[in-house]
Amino acid sequence: MTSQAAILVVDDNEDNRYTLELLLEADGHEQVAFASGGEEALAHMRKRPFSLVLLDMMMPDLNGDEVLRIIKDDPETRDVAVVMISADTDSDKISKCIELGADDYLPKPFNPAVLRARIASALRRHSLREMETQYLARIEQEKRRTETLLHNVLPPEIAARLGAGETTIADHHAEATVLFADIVGFGKITARMRPFEVVGSLNRLFSEFDRIADDVGVEKIKTIGDNYMVAVGVPTPRASHARVAIRLGLEFVAAAQGLHTRLPAPFSIRVGVHSGPLMAGVVGTRRYAYDVWGDTVNIAARIEAAGKPNRVFASAATVGLLGGEFALDGPHRVENKEERVLDAFFVSRRT
């Protein structure tokens, strides 16, 4: 360790510098630099890092305590070990330097055994500080990595709640809109495609959906095979959740049609939309997932399955929240698994 540690000797007395040079060389210290004053010492420190500074108390330009203060005030040099050297045994001056951050005090004339011990001690402390700094930096890096991963898989608001120590996240939302977008005939289309073509095509399509959803601040819940699911109005309530979901569905249809010429086989999608209350929360411990549950989700899936290619099909509950912004085709009757009959409408932009 000592042969690699860079040491700066600061003393305006040439004899003292020479004496310290001989003592340091005898102990195997190979990287030793010298300065005859405070300004020169600071110039050295701006050019290269040092592990230890042997700093004279009394100098013609800047006194040792002034140089020490500058070293300790600079974030780049404050962890450098500093040992004050002086023939002055004034305890007040010595204690002042210790308070400013000096690691030790070395009296003149130099006792080789004491010099060796105090330099070794100061270098050990510097090494420990460096290890602590590196350890804390690694902890901070891992913390940032964890936060990044959480933000990649969870909504920012939910990631923040988990980061704040919340262990169970389960919310009820009185009003929200769920949208399912499914590729029509996906199995037949991809039966003759190679695996990398299937994955590449899905990635291109769903990445485009991600971009569109991000642009309007909508949270993707998940993809299930060739089915893409979003919820509008969770985790943050949104008064316009139904209108935003319909616009999103229309954008998804346009995006899928726009990719026809860039995919090995064209994908047509059905979009189903339904509004109502739902539950949302985080499940899992090893792999977090933010998901939504409830009758609203089930009905949205049923509406999507009953729709037509390249159309947005919305329940009467959603349509009732739209106002006059969109053109409607319907109502059409849709039966769900509970043998209830629902009214639904094909929705398009007004021309």
pLDDT surpasses 60 at 127: yes
Task: For residues 165-192, give the mean pLDDT.
Answer: 86
* Topology agreement, domain 6-141 and domain 168-349: no
Q: Domain 6-141 is classified in which CATH homologous superfamily?
A: Response regulator (3.40.50.2300)
What backbone torsions phi and psi does residue 60 show, to the nearest 5 degrees? -70, -30
Q: Domain residue spans in the chain?
A: 6-141, 168-349
Per-residue pLDDT at 228: 93
Is the distance from CB of 271 to CB of 162 less than 8 angstroms?
no
For the 168-349 domain, the top CATH level (class) is alpha beta
Confidence of residue 234 (pLDDT cuts 50, 70, 90): confident
Confidence of residue 182 (pLDDT cuts 50, 70, 90): very high
Lookup: tokens for 231: 């919820």
Q: What is the DSSP string of 284-307?
A: -SSS-EEEEESHHHHHHHHHHHTS
Tens digits of residue pLDDT in 8-25: 999 988 888 888 888 888
Confidence of residue 1 (pLDDT cuts 50, 70, 90): very low
Task: Give the span between the Cα atoms of 149 and 289, in whole angstroms.
Answer: 12
Task: Give the span between the Cα atoms of 183 and 57, in whole angstroms.
Answer: 79
Task: Give the span between the Cα atoms of 113 and 120, in whole angstroms.
Answer: 11
Per-residue pLDDT at 152: 62
Per-residue pLDDT at 180: 95
Task: For residues 193-202, give the mean pLDDT.
Answer: 85
The answer to whether the Cα torsion of 95, 96, 97, 99 is positive or negative is positive
pLDDT surpasses 70 at 90: no
Lookup: tokens for 23: 């003592």
